[in-house]
Structure 1
């Protein structure tokens, strides 16, 4: 099975001999790949969409993995029994939805040692949520695919709080290792911010001027990190 760079980055963060719950499984590619590569022993592929569950079930059968992968229609973790599983994967959805799933399923996380999260938005907020529910962030990666940057964040049971807001904004792990993809993302953010400033200059309103000042401060912060 050939996976996209984004999905390959996600599966690379799952420890060998894990048992996973894949939330928002869509076609079931993540658990199928991990089972075929003998990384995981068993998996639950779950999705709130009936259509996605049907597609995942079809793919599981085609790969003869029905004894190792259960497909369950569930709104997040609500219908999932996590006993016997140690890793939850949540990917391909907005950060606020990721947070909602974690909040509503927090009682199902007692025996979940690892989280592998790939929120599409609100990355800073997701990092804070992981800390608030008792996970330390042990690894992060950024993947560029289809003109988009994707963050993959790995959490492990434990307690930590970042001292600096900038560490939540851009990821302490990425900042500490001076990650090349983080630098690429920051450079992209600078260019995008400058385009916004140019658009705002045309309006010449008080609100626009205030917004320009705010964005200029953001650009200075990004440049400081890069340099």
Structure 2
């Protein structure tokens, strides 16, 4: 049995029993193997933009005996995936801007999936804002810590019925509506870390002079500190 990292285990646990899962940026193929081993998915489509990782995933999947249930594809994001081809689409271990680009470029495919699970490693507010504006609704979220960095894992679906869509506030877009709702211990660590980092940057900028750029950055960071205070007071 394949052993998943804590990060991939969270992703795995969010995936319901289904027919087909597409894993974009499949890396070693471990998630696909785990899904097939446990019968969560009947078929997987591991995808990667680079030949090296895809070849390694192919070797691992073949060694596990699941090559006949796997359709490996060399693909830039969702380019080689058709609408309605996958019930679940996973995009993990990338920057938020790259994940946004991948979803935007393959928006019809993304909207056709039963659900998507992403693990962005940056640009959380911008990415969640994009998802909200495109009509996606967040179903679940969790936080994971890897190499002392805290990342969100977000599960969402496209909501065709506009009356069922959700408008998130700035705090929810920055830290995640479901994360704030759950208030896990990692959220407190995440808030404390950002609070310390933002305060330190403000102090350095104020000591370095009052250029227009510095003042604008200080204002931006103070707004982020207000969001942190708002969340902490609500917990």
TM-score by length of structure 2 reads 0.88
Distance in 1, matches of 2:217 and 2:128, equals: 26
> In structure 2, do the counterparts of structure 1 residues 215 and 27 end up closer, same or farther at CA, with 3 Å as the change threshold?
same
Taking a change above 3 Å as real, the CA distance of residues 140 and 57 of structure 1, as seen in their structure-2 partners, is same
Cα displacement (A) at 1:213 = 4.6
> 2:168–2:177: 8 Å Cα contact kept in structure 1?
no
Partner of 1:211: 217
Indicate how the Cα distance of structure 1 residues 49 and 30 shifts in structure 2: closer, same or farther if over 3 A, else same.
same
- Residue in 2 that maps onto 1:133: 134
For the structure 1 residues 217 and 126, does the alpha-carbon distance in structure 2 shift closer, same or farther, using more than 3 Å as the test? closer
Matching residue within 181, 186, 191 for 2:186: 181
Give structure 1 stretches of 5+ with no counterpart. Answer: none
Give the superposition deviation at 1:163.
4.7
The residue correspondences of 1:1-227 to structure 2 (distance < 5 A) are 1-158=2-159, 159=162, 160-207=165-212, 208-209=214-215, 211-227=217-233
Runs of 4+ in structure 1 deviating by more than 6 angstroms, as ranges, are none
How far, CA to CA, are the matches of 1:82 and 1:32 in structure 2?
23
SS in 1 for 2:228: helix
CA distance in 1, matches of 2:152, 2:68: 32
Range with bigger deviation, 192-201 or 57-66:
192-201
Quote the RMSD (CA, aligned, Å). Answer: 2.0
Q: Shift in Å at residue 68 of structure 1? A: 1.1
State the distance in 2 between where 1:75 and 1:217 align: 36
Aligned residues: 227
- How far the C-alpha of 1:220 sits from its partner, in A, is 3.2
